[in-house]
Structure 1
Amino acid sequence: MLGLFKAKKKTSQIKVLIVDDEPDLISTVEYRLKCAACRTVTASNGQEGLERAAAEKPDLILLDTNMPVMDGHEMLGRLQADPTLKHIPVIMLTARCESKDIAAASAHGVSDYVTKPFDFAELMAKIQAIVKARGQA
């Protein structure tokens, strides 16, 4: 049949875990990532984020700082302490832009730090660059 119905090779999608307590931000970022052919998983606090990271093994985590139950810095510390999760790159996506916040995130080995409001095209470029550098895309 001339190969008209051959299965197309599936390209690998980037799986991104979005951890933020703002539902509007989550839905906006999730929508934009899905439009960019990414798969998404979401969590509304650090504890839930850790559980989702362990269950889903995302390629990258977008992490807010200020959240209830467990904040982003505590989640970062716990990610780094877990040998099965510490390899997952993290981009802080937060409104906090003080040097002490950036230094604390840096101490935990974040891949990048993006402050809200942000340009989605720049965020997507950072995500793709980090995942590509790690050989995941």
Structure 2
Amino acid sequence: MSRPLQHMLLVEDDLAWRERLDVVAREEGVQVTHAADGQEALDWLCTRPRASHPDLILLDLLLPRMDGWELYGQLRTNARLRHLGVLMFSGALNGKEPPLDGVVGYLRKPHAPEAMDLALRAQLRGLPELPTRASSEPYALQLPEDVCLPLRTLPSALGHAVRLHLLRAAELVGTELPLASTWLMALPGTPPSLLVTVEGVQVVLEVDDAQRRLTASEVSLAPGLFNGA
């Protein structure tokens, strides 16, 4: 089942990409508003009444100031913005991304904007209904600078995969958190904590149920992780 798409917020810092994707969207009958980074997009959304919010955010994940992952985290924890649908795109996506609340799809970003025309048109024409949001407020995810630093050293594809799984853990913890899985494990102790493991990267998340918040407290990288990178 699909719905009409009339207005899209394009968050992309590269002018050539903005211009090309704007042309494609307008040819599909979609009005486009632009933002050059996550902070500009967030500021714009927060000053707009809900009635004038876009139907979709086309979000590049690699951005200056506030990147796409941080913007998505801000959207999902803001009650006024949680209804917004997001279509993510990045050269580091591999087609195996886990589901995230409000994310309607993923597009792999090729080297040239023109190479994404067909994929974007298909998404705009067949935008699925957004999944029903959980009634409870989702947990916020906080990544202190001492945790972000080693994550920034990762190859881009692996860094994206880790961020995806951290955000997925923040969604699961308030609803259907498994005691153990291939990538997520509840650790014994008080206060409670979670262990996220993705391809040799382990991140410990401290759980604050009162504040509905996950805070990354420790990150470890497997020896030899960068061999051959």
TM-score bin, normalised by smaller chain: 0.7 to 0.9
Higher strand share: 2
Contact 1:19 1:61 in 2 (8 A): yes
Residue 36 of structure 2 corresponds to residue 44 of structure 1: yes
Per-residue CA shift, 1:1-47, capped at 9, x if unaligned? xxxxxxxxxxx761010001111000110112112211000001001
Listed as ranges, the gaps of 5+ residues in structure 1 are: 1-11
Contact 1:65 1:96 in 2 (8 A): no
**Aligned pairs (5 A) from 1:94-133:** 94-97=90-93, 102-103=97-98, 106-107=99-100, 109-117=102-110, 118-130=115-127, 133=129
In structure 1, the residue matched to 2:55 is 59
Task: Please give the alpha-carbon distance, in whole angstroms, between the structure 2 residues aligned to 1:126 and 1:50.
Answer: 23
Higher helix share: 1
Contact 1:60 1:90 in 2 (8 A): yes
Query: What RMSD over aligned residues (CA atoms) do the two structures have, in Å?
Result: 2.3
Task: Please give the alpha-carbon distance, in whole angstroms, between the structure 1 residues aligned to 2:95 and 2:5.
Answer: 34
Task: Please give the alpha-carbon distance, in whole angstroms, between the structure 2 residues aligned to 1:72 and 1:40.
Answer: 18
Question: Any runs of at least 4 consecutive aligned residues in structure 1 with deviations exceeding 6 A, and if so which?
Answer: none
Deviation at residue 65 of structure 1 after TM alignment: 0.8
Change (3 A) 1:36 1:98: closer
Change (3 A) 1:128 1:88: farther
Deviation at residue 121 of structure 1 after TM alignment: 2.6
TM-score, normalising length: structure 2: 0.47
Residue-pair matches, total: 119
Deviation at residue 126 of structure 1 after TM alignment: 1.5
TM-score, normalising length: structure 1: 0.75
* Matched residue type, 2:31: R
Structure number with the bigger relative contact order (C-alpha 8 A, sep ≥ 6) is 1
Deviation at residue 124 of structure 1 after TM alignment: 2.1
